[in-house]
Chains A and B, each alone.
Chain A
């Protein structure tokens, strides 16, 4: 069977019906025979199937008929037919718990693509590492890039990166997600793509905070470039390729989320800078802001390894200690400069 025929006749499971999960389910449904999306909430599943719309997260998108929502995992992974690809779109905070719970449904030949931008708190493990530890299936990859779900839902041209150590997984991602308005680039630097997607969340908070101060383009460009340098430094310490950070998953994602109020992390940063308290903001937000958790984990690790990350340090103080942005900016500017800095 040719590659194309195989995926055209395949069944795909999407785990998680947040905004990005829903949009990915829709994209995949255009290239395969059936998409089963797992929704924790029974009511929401019924509503999606009845109205073809995920009103809670992406009200503007009418889903393809081939997308079916289920709250019962048995039905998603239906043993008699099975799925060929699993798209994992849950927040990183529940990754360990949910993969542990779902392990028994996997058979071993399904290809897994995750779309989570975050890492496991404390352990610094990437999502693909957690999935590999918990799921009895080896072929795992990651989707990441400048992909604000609502823009992709409204068919604005966009691109993403699918990275895996397995060419099969990359090919599956390309076959399933490509459309006339969505382009999929292949990559094999899994570490780089996952860390880029994670680290840019920290900078998105910084960027929101900066904008709250009403600062202009010079400041923002400085933040983005110096922030990127931090990302590269940290990423390389983790074993990533430098060039990945110059691609869609790195600078691409940074530009999209670093200046868009569609980004949750950006909104957190903005409201923190205005003096609001973190718990209140998170309560209002309704969905996860990965960057908040990431900041602490990354900052502490960077400290222990002696990786210089001044901007991350400032975001850490903003998030953790509620330091005021008015104090943080001068402290960043007054850092002793070093000639060797890249």
Chain B
């Protein structure tokens, strides 16, 4: 334990674990561990049965009590799928998939044109279900997993040693990945809970790097492999698809919005949880475009946790509980920052779900990202948050839900309506909405504030105060001269906001990274400024001649937004927020 970090870590009660010199939880060892086998390991053997169950259930759900006929469901899906396929651009990796899709939907189309006595609608319906199920259903290959867990750290370490200038200093040679990746938070708790029930890990999402990183963190924590829904688009990325193929990922295609697909996907992820397979969902939907921590969460997938638990209780599963564990990753620089913020700011951003041409598609950029990461002073902080039950109540290490005033909550009671444990659509929707609200709150509270975010925030807010009449879009377009400020002014603001986040940390509303330990404002400001600019060629905030300026207002706004949602801005009380994210 570095003595000087003691009192500066955060409020003393919150981080009672003693972190080692690496900054990670002491139980995290950056060495090769034996792979822990979990239920996912046997997924491939039970896969066909599982997919059949899921398609059967989906058919029953859709056709059972709904008024919609098979013709209606098929026609709607046909219309939407044809429209999607017409819009879709292909590359070498996706051409075959598009062909197959066309083949299916042409067949459905000609089938629907014939009389039901000639072409059985149920057969068409089953074809669609089968087609989707095959697309969604993940594979898990223990060999690939084993291989990846060896390769990832090896690759990381190689890059680290190659990239770090300090490799020339022999006594620093032992320093490796662990100084760049800090894993902190409720690690013993998540390990214990993984034994007591099924874990639903819900991280914030900033970069396509996340999936790889999180997979590696799970492995380092000594947990069995997790299943997760990865965007279908990622599978067409040669770099990323390599990591995902055999790692238990199932595919999610957000461009498919017809009820058959959505229902099937939901049933699949519910079923995975019911099988006791720990899963990862990104509840924000996609990567955060603005750079801010997610506040509006996609409730559909979150709801599968509740559904799985209800089914588990009804069928008397020995370990019915599902535990929701938030996770917040803090990056000094995000690979795709430029594309994301531009997407957020452009009108088109509201309609585009998937960016197919951002930095994470360019191997050189990815390489450059890691190179910069490992040559930097400080790296990525990854915090495992306090685990909750599916209603958003905290749980203790035995998986008991803690209610207000020292009461223990029995989830069975919360799921009882008129004397019976049943699924109740309206009630459950409300439970999930509440979980979403609590989760968004936890995301903010589990966030680790790092120096670069505070630099971006302080500088941006100083500019905003300089030009109080400008709305967001006009402020983003001020000239270089206008966005150059005296260092003293910016430092004063930095000190001011530092005090504010300090107060929030003391209240338990966020965490401060130990690198913010220095009471010397200039020092942490300089550190943050260096880390922040590192990945972006022009830098984000720069300093010299007693002035501070920014080369890129968009990027500045992106990194500044990480501290939105805390009410830190002095301008946020204004009724007219002028488009700023506060």
* A3-B418, A108-B414, A138-B434 known; A168 vs B424 contact (CB < 8 Å): yes
**Residues in chain A near residue B405, CB distance under 8 A:** 100, 103-104, 134, 136
Contact A136–B403 (Cβ < 8 Å): yes
Q: In this assembly, does A106 line the interface, its C-beta being within 8 Å of a C-beta of chain B? A: yes
B419-460 interface bits toward A, Cβ cutoff 8 Å, 1 = contact, 0 = none: 100001011001101100000000000000000000000000
**Residues in chain A near residue B403, CB distance under 8 A:** 103, 108, 135-136
**Residues in chain A near residue B404, CB distance under 8 A:** 103, 133-136
**Residues in chain B near residue A134, CB distance under 8 A:** 404-405
**Residues in chain B near residue A133, CB distance under 8 A:** 404
Q: In this assembly, does A1 line the interface, its C-beta being within 8 Å of a C-beta of chain B? A: yes
Contact A6–B418 (Cβ < 8 Å): yes
Contact of A306 among B430, B431, B575 (CB under 8 A): B575
Q: In this assembly, does A107 line the interface, its C-beta being within 8 Å of a C-beta of chain B? A: yes
Contact B575–A1 (Cβ < 8 Å): no
Complexed CA–CA distance, A16 and B417 (Å): 26
* A138-B391, A138-B414, A138-B434 known; A166 vs B407 contact (CB < 8 Å): no
Contact A106–B418 (Cβ < 8 Å): no
Q: How far is the CB of B372 from chain A (nearest CB, A)?
A: 44
Complexed CA–CA distance, A134 and B404 (Å): 5
| CB-nearest residue of chain B to A139 | B427
Contact B413–A107 (Cβ < 8 Å): yes
Q: How far is the CB of B127 from chain A (nearest CB, A)?
A: 38
**Residues in chain A near residue B406, CB distance under 8 A:** 103-104
* A134-B404, A138-B391, A168-B427 known; A108 vs B410 contact (CB < 8 Å): yes
**Residues in chain B near residue A277, CB distance under 8 A:** none
Q: In this assembly, does A42 line the interface, its C-beta being within 8 Å of a C-beta of chain B? A: no
A148-175 interface bits toward B, Cβ cutoff 8 Å, 1 = contact, 0 = none: 0000000000000000011110000000
| CB-nearest residue of chain B to A135 | B404
Contact A136–B407 (Cβ < 8 Å): yes
**Residues in chain B near residue A138, CB distance under 8 A:** 391, 414, 431, 434
* A1-B418, A138-B434 known; A109 vs B413 contact (CB < 8 Å): yes
Q: How far is the CB of A79 from chain B (nearest CB, A)?
A: 13
Residue of A1, A138, A165, A305 with most chain B CB atoms under a 10 A cut-off: A138
Contact of B430 among A106, A136, A137, A165 (CB under 8 A): A165
Contact of A1 among B408, B413, B419, B424 (CB under 8 A): B419
**Residues in chain B near residue A168, CB distance under 8 A:** 417-418, 424, 426-427
Contact A104–B575 (Cβ < 8 Å): no
* Residues of A in contact with B, size category: 20 to 34
Complexed CA–CA distance, A167 and B408 (Å): 25
Complexed CA–CA distance, A103 and B424 (Å): 25
A250-288 interface bits toward B, Cβ cutoff 8 Å, 1 = contact, 0 = none: 000000000000000000000000000000000000000
Contact A166–B418 (Cβ < 8 Å): no
Complexed CA–CA distance, A100 and B426 (Å): 28
List CB contacts (< 8 Å) of B333-370 with chain A: none
**Residues in chain B near residue A106, CB distance under 8 A:** 407
List CB contacts (< 8 Å) of B305-359 with chain A: none
Complexed CA–CA distance, A123 and B417 (Å): 32
Contact B413–A167 (Cβ < 8 Å): no
Contact A104–B407 (Cβ < 8 Å): yes
Contact B410–A167 (Cβ < 8 Å): no
Contact B414–A6 (Cβ < 8 Å): no
| CB-nearest residue of chain A to B420 | A1
**Residues in chain A near residue B575, CB distance under 8 A:** 305-306
Contact A109–B414 (Cβ < 8 Å): yes
| CB-nearest residue of chain B to A100 | B405
Q: In this assembly, does B470 line the interface, its C-beta being within 8 Å of a C-beta of chain A? A: no
| CB-nearest residue of chain A to B403 | A136
List CB contacts (< 8 Å) of B278-303 with chain A: none
* Residues of B in contact with A, size category: 20 to 34
Q: How far is the CB of B323 from chain A (nearest CB, A)?
A: 18
Contact B413–A108 (Cβ < 8 Å): yes
**Residues in chain B near residue A109, CB distance under 8 A:** 413-414, 416-417
| CB-nearest residue of chain B to A169 | B427
Q: How far is the CB of B113 from chain A (nearest CB, A)?
A: 42
| CB-nearest residue of chain A to B429 | A165
**Residues in chain A near residue B62, CB distance under 8 A:** none
| CB-nearest residue of chain A to B407 | A136
| CB-nearest residue of chain B to A138 | B414
| CB-nearest residue of chain B to A102 | B405
Q: In this assembly, does B376 line the interface, its C-beta being within 8 Å of a C-beta of chain A? A: no
Q: In this assembly, does B409 line the interface, its C-beta being within 8 Å of a C-beta of chain A? A: yes
**Residues in chain B near residue A136, CB distance under 8 A:** 403-405, 407-409
Q: How far is the CB of A132 from chain B (nearest CB, A)?
A: 8
List CB contacts (< 8 Å) of B367-419 with chain A: 391, 403-410, 413-414, 416-419
**Residues in chain B near residue A135, CB distance under 8 A:** 403-404
| CB-nearest residue of chain A to B433 | A165
Complexed CA–CA distance, A135 and B413 (Å): 14
| CB-nearest residue of chain A to B405 | A103
Contact of B427 among A1, A103, A137, A166 (CB under 8 A): A166
| CB-nearest residue of chain A to B401 | A136
A100-136 interface bits toward B, Cβ cutoff 8 Å, 1 = contact, 0 = none: 1001101111000000000000000000000001111
Complexed CA–CA distance, A103 and B409 (Å): 11
Complexed CA–CA distance, A98 and B257 (Å): 48
Complexed CA–CA distance, A136 and B575 (Å): 36
Complexed CA–CA distance, A1 and B403 (Å): 29
Complexed CA–CA distance, A108 and B419 (Å): 12
Residue of A1, A3, A108, A306 with most chain B CB atoms under a 10 A cut-off: A108
Q: How far is the CB of B118 from chain A (nearest CB, A)?
A: 45
Complexed CA–CA distance, A320 and B127 (Å): 74
**Residues in chain B near residue A108, CB distance under 8 A:** 403, 409-410, 413-414, 416
Contact A167–B426 (Cβ < 8 Å): yes
Q: How far is the CB of A247 from chain B (nearest CB, A)?
A: 21
| CB-nearest residue of chain A to B392 | A138
Q: How far is the CB of A29 from chain B (nearest CB, A)?
A: 20
Complexed CA–CA distance, A6 and B336 (Å): 56
Contact B427–A167 (Cβ < 8 Å): yes
Q: How far is the CB of A114 from chain B (nearest CB, A)?
A: 16
* A1-B418, A138-B391, A306-B575 known; A103 vs B426 contact (CB < 8 Å): no
Complexed CA–CA distance, A243 and B406 (Å): 39
**Residues in chain A near residue B416, CB distance under 8 A:** 108-109
**Residues in chain A near residue B407, CB distance under 8 A:** 103-104, 106, 136
**Residues in chain A near residue B414, CB distance under 8 A:** 108-109, 137-138
**Residues in chain B near residue A3, CB distance under 8 A:** 418
Contact A6–B419 (Cβ < 8 Å): yes
Complexed CA–CA distance, A307 and B418 (Å): 43
Q: How far is the CB of A91 from chain B (nearest CB, A)?
A: 20
Complexed CA–CA distance, A306 and B576 (Å): 12
Contact B430–A166 (Cβ < 8 Å): yes
| CB-nearest residue of chain A to B426 | A167
Q: How far is the CB of A171 from chain B (nearest CB, A)?
A: 10
Complexed CA–CA distance, A138 and B419 (Å): 16
A47-60 interface bits toward B, Cβ cutoff 8 Å, 1 = contact, 0 = none: 00000000000000
**Residues in chain B near residue A1, CB distance under 8 A:** 418-419
Q: How far is the CB of A125 from chain B (nearest CB, A)?
A: 14
Residue of A100, A104, A166 with most chain B CB atoms under a 10 A cut-off: A166
| CB-nearest residue of chain B to A104 | B407
| CB-nearest residue of chain A to B418 | A6
Complexed CA–CA distance, A100 and B414 (Å): 19
Complexed CA–CA distance, A98 and B61 (Å): 45
**Residues in chain B near residue A306, CB distance under 8 A:** 575
Q: How far is the CB of B154 from chain A (nearest CB, A)?
A: 48
**Residues in chain A near residue B417, CB distance under 8 A:** 109, 168
List, sorted by A's number, 7 A–B pairs whose CB atoms are closer than 8 Å.
Answer: A6-B418, A103-B406, A108-B410, A109-B413, A135-B404, A136-B408, A167-B426
Besides A1-B418, A136-B405, 5 other A-B contacts (C-beta < 8 A): A136-B403, A138-B414, A138-B434, A139-B427, A167-B426
3 nearest A-B pairs in the assembled complex, by CB-CB distance: A136-B403, A108-B413, A103-B405
Which residues of B does A touch, CB under 8 Å? Answer: 391, 403-410, 413-414, 416-419, 424, 426-427, 430-431, 433-434, 575
